[in-house]
Amino acid sequence: MQPILKVNLTTGETSEYVIPVELERDYLGGASLAARLLYPVLTRDLDPVSPESPILFLNGPLSGTAGPAVGRFVVCGKSPATGLWAESNCGGFWGPELRFCGYDGLWINGKADRPVYLWLNNRKLEVRDAAAVWGKDMYESQSIIKSEIGLPGAHVLTIGPAGENGVLFAGLYCDHGRAAGRTGLGAVAGSKNLKAIAVKGTQKIPIARPELFAPLRSASNHFLKEDTVTQVAHELGTAGVADYADYLGGTPKKYFHQGFFEGVDKVSGSTMAETILVGVSACHACVIACGRVVRLEDGEKRKGPEYETIVGFGPNLLNDDLAAIVRLGEVCDRYGMDVISASNTIGLAYHLYENGVITEKDTGFPLRWGDVTGAERLLHLMARREGIGNFMADGSRRFAAHFGAEEEAVQVNGLEVAYHDPRGVSGMALVYATSPRGACHNKSDYFLVDWGQAETSLGLKFFERHAGAEKAANVARHQDWRSACDSLVLCLFANVPAEMVAGLVNAACGYDCSVDDLLRCGERGWNLKRAINNRMGLTRGNDKLPKALLEPLADGPVAGFAPDLESMLLAYYSARGWDPVTGRPTREKLCALGLEDVAKDLWG
Amino acid sequence: MAIIFPSPEWLQSLFDKLNSDERYAQIARNWEGDMCVVIEPSGPLTEQHIYYLDLWHGKCRKTETLKDLFSVKSKFVLTATYENISHIMKGELDPMQAMMTRKLQVHGSMAYMMRNVPTVLDFVRCCREVTTEIL
């Protein structure tokens, strides 16, 4: 891999960090490598918004090549929302452009004495004054910085006002609303007075065996283009699965408290395609192009919503107005707030309002299911930390706790649950309870496996959607694969055979690794992140689900079912080689993965 | 009498089933669209088979064995190898699993397909129920 550029914003010093070859091989890149590099500094005492708190942007060995769906980078650190491992990856063109600069990562520490943005032109770094963009929204900031730079082809990653104001679910955004939304790393950047990072490079990405890589990446892209899942994502966007998810009872409604909502059909990816869709957008070199471009009544073309936005501002609030969902998603993007956490926390506000826990005295206006005018006002209040929004900006767990109702928040370890209900797809119960970053649907998109994407080449089996402990080992294996994908920073929608991915890695890096080797790397990364969280205070008791997800729904396609999390967890710990009492990876497991130093730290 | 898949008798049997099955009639009552099922040769099947089915409001209006896909422009084309489609017919492979793991290719309006997955799944049930023997 290429070096990582280290930048200290306090002193202005920079240096190059050359990644040891053995770390490249053992961790591949991306999130797992970030976990290895940050392991020494991610301690329980580290304040995530202090100058000492690192923020590490990393690519993978395929990033920026012409391989299948490899336009993503990852950003990692300590989450101000959860106090645990923070990780969020993002598409667009920024990550590849960073590689074109000759760096595979940016490792930022310190705090600037005034708002700044970084401008990396190939290997030349400038720290520039950001006074002109501080306070500006995400799209405005990108536009102004691009104009200041004046160099065509530059890409800008920026925070919005939410990151500046320390909203704990603020993200980082590039290109046409591509987001590293989860775990609040936008607030970490904001705490460093770091508004944005612009990059433009002209260098070639190193490929170890180009003669092997070229035909393989061509074949894999053709393969991907013909795939039916790709065609769904291309034609309908990620919300293309909304109809099917609802049919199987996987779409949350009324803040996870209702199983049926008549208006679901009006806000699906299919409906969007047949009404307001006017184009698509793609990340670097991607044949899927899942991004949506829509036109509303004002005639302006704008980013269309993906699945999580549609459900979060749609059925979650009993709203069936697709145009309103588009606008609420845009408000989030402009402020630089994660749509899942923002819409989930708003759903909680509606829920607490309905149950009299909060009243109009707290909000200043009524909150009625199906009426999203209140939701839009709450978004503004959250981003500006005004009124009740000041509490909501700390995320659903702290917001609910402030009003004495913590158990009502649908979150795990401080990260709001995404919109794949484990009562519809039981594998998500384990995924949410054990994800290294809280209730995340991407560290394993196991809902797809529960629907049928059980890749036999990965050793995955197909279990009934409501199966229990018997699918625990399957979930762990899928997490290992996705952990490997997060190391490669491979888009989860790249539905190509695992053997093809291994072939691309081998050609790019000069390795000779098998799918099992990739799974092993994934398992190593997963256990390392677990150990980081253990050191930061995570215990067996943190592996849990919120009350709402353990209670059966009264109506809808999965009425009467709730996952038996406890039995699933016991089977999961056994499959993982984790201690069922403490929830920690055992010494034997850590040593078997080559993590002897971590075993010593955890077990003495 | 054993109805071997694939064969003209199997196609006729499916036609009869789709026009007599009450559950299919109910679930597919809003379906409007014809489809071609392309069975690519593999294993004991040495030639490509193409079946055309005109499906309309819970009934099957017409079936036909085609020589190629040029003679008709159907709303959907479903393609799988004989081996994979046999697994589906025998109930060993879930049709959604087949689609999501690249064992069954679907071409046509994805918006219409995703809205009508229950109809597609019930169509597969009917296919399975008329299949008593695989080639």
Closest residue of A to B79, CA-based? Answer: A228
ipTM of the complex model: 0.90
Residues of A at the B interface, defined by Cβ within 8 angstroms: 223, 226-229, 231-232, 235-236, 240-241, 243-244, 247, 265, 268-270, 273-274, 448, 451-456, 462, 495, 497
Closest residue of B to A448, CA-based? Answer: B100
Give the minimum alpha-carbon distance from A67 to chain B in angstroms, rounded to a whole number: 19
d(CA B97, CA A400): 40
Q: Which pLDDT belongs to residue B133?
A: 79
Contact B114 A448 (CB under 8 A): no
Give the minimum alpha-carbon distance from A274 to chain B in angstroms, rounded to a whole number: 8
- Domains belonging to chain B, first-starting first, are 4-134 (3.30.1050.10)
For the CA atoms of chain A, what is the radius of gyration? Answer: 22
Tokens encoding A90: 């993002």
Tokens encoding A511: 């390795």
Residues of chain A found within 8 Å of residue B97, distances taken between Cβ atoms: 452-454, 462
Tokens encoding B60: 């099957």
Contact A462 B94 (CB under 8 A): yes
Mutation target among A224, A228, A230, A266 for the B interface, most CBs of B within 10 A: A228
Residues of chain A found within 8 Å of residue B102, distances taken between Cβ atoms: 223, 227-228, 495, 497
Q: What is the CB-side half-sphere exposure of residue B85 using CA atoms within 13 A?
A: 28
- Domains belonging to chain A, first-starting first, are 4-200 (3.60.9.10), 237-415 (1.10.569.10), 427-544+564-603 (1.10.599.10)
d(CA B28, CA B59): 8
Residue for token pair 């202005």: A12
Contact B115 A229 (CB under 8 A): no
Closest residue of A to B96, CA-based? Answer: A452
* pLDDT averaged over 10-residue windows placed end to end, chain A, 604 residues: 97 98 97 98 98 98 95 98 98 98 98 98 98 98 98 97 98 96 98 98 97 97 92 95 94 98 95 97 96 97 97 98 98 98 98 98 98 98 98 98 98 98 98 97 95 92 95 98 98 93 98 97 98 98 98 97 98 98 97 98 96
CB A450 within 8 A of CB B94: no
Q: Which pLDDT belongs to residue B107?
A: 94
Contact B114 A240 (CB under 8 A): yes
pTM for this predicted structure: 0.96
Q: Calculate the CA A573 to chain-centre distance.
A: 24
Closest residue of A to B77, CA-based? Answer: A228
Residue B134 has pLDDT above 90, yes or no: no
DSSP string, A80-149: TTTSSEEEEEE-SSHHHHHHHTT-SEEEEES--SS-EEEEEETTEEEEEE-TTTTT--HHHHHHHHHHHH
Task: Calculate the dihedral angle through the C-alpha atoms of A517, A496, A442, A518, rounding to the nearest 10 degrees.
Answer: 0
d(CA A302, CA A580): 49
Residue B1 has pLDDT above 70, yes or no: no
Q: SS3 of B2, please? A: coil
Degrees to nearest 5, angle at CA A339 with A335 and A343? 110
Show the 3-state SS of A348-405: HHHHHHHCCCCCHHHHCCCCCCCCCHHHHHHHHHHHHCCCCHHHHCCCHHHHHHHCCC
Which residue type sits at A413? N
Q: Which of B94, B105, B117 sits opposite A244 (nearest CB)?
A: B117
d(CA A233, CA B51): 28
Neighbours of A363 (CB within 10 A): 21
Angstrom CA distances, A170 to A472, B99, B129, stand at 32, 37, 53
Q: Which pLDDT belongs to residue B135?
A: 74
Alpha helices in A489-584 (DSSP H): 498-509, 515-535, 565-576
Instruction: List residues bridging with A435 in a β-sheet.
Output: none
d(CA A175, CA B31): 40
Neighbours of A278 (CB within 10 A): 11
Residues of chain B found within 8 Å of residue A268, distances taken between Cβ atoms: 114-115
Give the minimum alpha-carbon distance from B9 to chain A in angstroms, rounded to a whole number: 30
Residues of B at the A interface, defined by Cβ within 8 angstroms: 94, 96-102, 104-107, 109-112, 114-115, 117-118
Contact B115 A268 (CB under 8 A): yes
Task: Calculate the dihedral angle through the C-alpha atoms of A66, A67, A69, A71, rounding to the nearest 10 degrees.
Answer: -50
Q: Which of B100, B107, B109 sits opposite A229 (nearest CB)?
A: B100
Residues of chain B found within 8 Å of residue A452, distances taken between Cβ atoms: 94, 96-101
Q: Which pLDDT belongs to residue B132?
A: 85
